[in-house]
Each structure stands twice: as C-alpha cells, then as structure tokens.
Amino acid sequence: MKFLKLIILTALFAATVVLFAACSNAQATTAPTSTPVLPTEIVEAPTVQPTPTPARGQGQSQQHGHGQQGQGHGKGKGRGMGGPPEGMRERHHAPIPAEYQGKTNPIPADEASLARGEAIYARECATCHGDGGMGDGPASMGLDPAPAPIAHTSQMLGDSYLFWRISEGGAQFNTAMLPFKDTLTERDIWDVINYVRALGSGEVQPRRHVGGQAMDPNAEAQMHGEMLAAGVAQGIITQKEADLFTLVHDKLEVYREAHMDELRSFMGNPAQMQQAMLKALVESGEITQEQADAFADIHHRLEEAGVMQ
C-alpha cells in the first residue's frame, strides 16, 4: 500500500514538472511582439521668397503708370503706347473713334513747338519710351505689352490716330498707358506729336534725361535683315524673294522721305500708303508691276506668320 502511494506521488510530481516546462515554453513563444516605432518623416516647409520692395518711382506706378515725374506714358513701371510686336499691327489698324476721325495737327512743327514738346515728352513719356522714342526707357524692362518705338511708328501713323491714342490711353489694348485728355491740353498733345515725329525723322536729337537710344537707321536695317533671314529660315519666303523685298523696300523708303508731305493724308492707314507708294514707283518706272505685286504678297505672308513687326 505504501509502495502504491509512492508511485502515485512520483507520477504527480513528474506531471507537474512537465506542465510547468510546457507553460514556460508557451510563454516564450507567444510573448507579444512590440510594434516598431517608425521614424517620423521630416518635411521641410517651402521657402517663401520675400516680396521685393520696389524702388522709388516704381511702386504704385506698376499698376497705374505713375512715377515721380507725374502722369506719363507709363511712368515708373507703367506701360506705354506700344505692345509686343504680335499685337502692334492690330493696334495700328484699329478703327479710330468718330470723335477723333479727321483731326489734323494745327500746330506747326517749328522750334517753339518742338521745345514745348521736348519738355512734355521728357516729363511724361521718356521713362517708358526712352529719350530717343525707341521704347527703351528705364521703366520698359519686363513690361508686357512693351512700350512702342514711337519715334519710328509715328512716321507712319496719322494725326487723328496719334491724338486719339495719347488722349484716351491704352486701356482698350491692355496697355497701361494713361489717358492724357484731362492732363494735357490739345496744344500739349500736338506739340508732343510734333516732337516724336522730329525724333524719328532725325530733325532733332534726343536730349539725355532718363536713357534710351536714338532711332538708328543702321540698327533698323539690321533688324530688317534679321526679319527676312527668319522668314527664309522658317520657309515662309525664299532667299530670292527676300532679295526682291529688300530692293523694293529700299525704294519705298527713299520715296517716302522725298514725298512725306503728300503722303500725310495716308498716315494712320499704312496699307493704303504702301499701295500708293508702290503705284507711284511703278508709274515712274522704278519697279515693275510684277515686283510690286510680289512685294505685297511677301509682305502679307510675313505679317500672317508673325515674323514682320
């Protein structure tokens, strides 16, 4: 009997040991695995560029066309009469409002008018259009539309067109040129027109006020050559057509300078002026009708392609 009890106790002890060992193994196997902590990604905040402080004379003028010198053709960072080449042709062919149609300059372009016009131009226009009227004044940088080279364009535009644009400004053309009808008198506007035309014809040389180049016939000839080269490179015209265009163009320029007074009636309508000059050159035997027709066709193709400014 005692021997039987001993066997039972021994068996119970062995079972206890086995059970304890099993529990220990189970604990080691099923111990919870801690969730790894992922490193937090550091995202840098975007760098905010400080807004540059405009220089004196270039603050409010960026929106209103004013500067220290008063209401100008785009004072400070304003914009002038012009615009990018691709829009200039449309502006120059825009219909003149009825109230300005037929206006002619009653002020002779004498020394007194040119002196008055120079003073007004220096005060109101030069900062955008430049001392020489070539659209390269100190405030012209980065403007879109850019100021027009009015010393050049005024040679082909009529009195009524120029008076209208200066009077009403450039809002309808998306330029920031201010209207001057309430700032300048009619005589002031005519004096400025006389002066910018004198700049373009070379009758007067620009005084140095704010900077900018004078109209340079050599530079214009270079630009003309570059335009034709671009037309040839783009396949719009051939080199033979470019040579013919230059030949006729040079004769047109000579004719225009020699007959400016009789051509004034066409100012404001460059297409009609060109037709009249081509007709006169054909009648005088300077060019043939075939050359005149070819020139007009080449001119049209260059304009349509946006190569001609």
**For the residues 15-36, what does the mean pLDDT come to?**
48
CA 124 to CA 70: how far, in whole Å? 7
CA 23 to chain centre: 86
pLDDT the model gives residue 240 = 96
Distance CA 295, CA 274 (A): 10
Neighbours of 141 (CB within 10 A): 9
The string of pLDDT tens digits covering residues 171-204 is 888 787 888 999 999 999 999 999 999 988 888 8
Alpha-carbon span 252 to 156, nearest angstrom:
13
CA 178 centroid distance within chain: 17
If we measure between CA atoms, which residue out of 229, 273, 298 comes closest to residue 92? 273
Length of the chain measured in residues: 309
Q: How far apart are the C-alpha atoms of 79 and 81, rounded to whole Å?
A: 7
If you average pLDDT over residues 215-244, what whole number do you get? 85
* Six-digit token string for 148: 């027009």
241, pLDDT greater than 60: yes
pLDDT reported for residue 206: 84
Q: What is the average pLDDT value for the chain, to the nearest integer?
A: 74
Q: pLDDT confidence of 259, banded at 50, 70, 90?
A: confident
Q: Does residue 12 have a pLDDT over 60?
A: no
Helix (H, G, I), strand (E, B) or coil at 303: helix
Distance CA 139, CA 120 (A): 17
3-state secondary structure 165-200: HHHHCCHHHCCCCCCCCCCCCHHHHHHHHHHHHHHH
Q: Model confidence over 109-124: pLDDT tens digits?
A: 999 999 999 999 999 9
Q: What is the CATH number of domain 61-215?
A: 1.10.760.10
Q: Please state, in angstroms and rounded to a whole number, the distance separating the CA atoms of residues 287 and 44.
A: 71
Nearest to 192 by CA among 67, 72, 64, 65: 72
Handedness of CA 100, 106, 109, 114 (dihedral sign): negative
Percent of the chain at pLDDT > 90 equals: 32
What are the boundaries of each domain within the chain? Answer: 61-215, 218-304
Distance between CA 146 and CA 229 in Å, rounded?
Answer: 24
57-71 tens-digit pLDDT = 333 333 333 333 333
For residue 65, the number of C-alpha atoms closer than 13 Å in the C-beta half-sphere is 27
* pLDDT above 60 for 88: no
Please indicate, yes or no, whether the overall pTM of this predicted structure exceeds 0.75: no
Say yes or no to pLDDT of 48 above 50: no
Nearest CA to 123 out of 207, 46, 48, 179 is that of 207
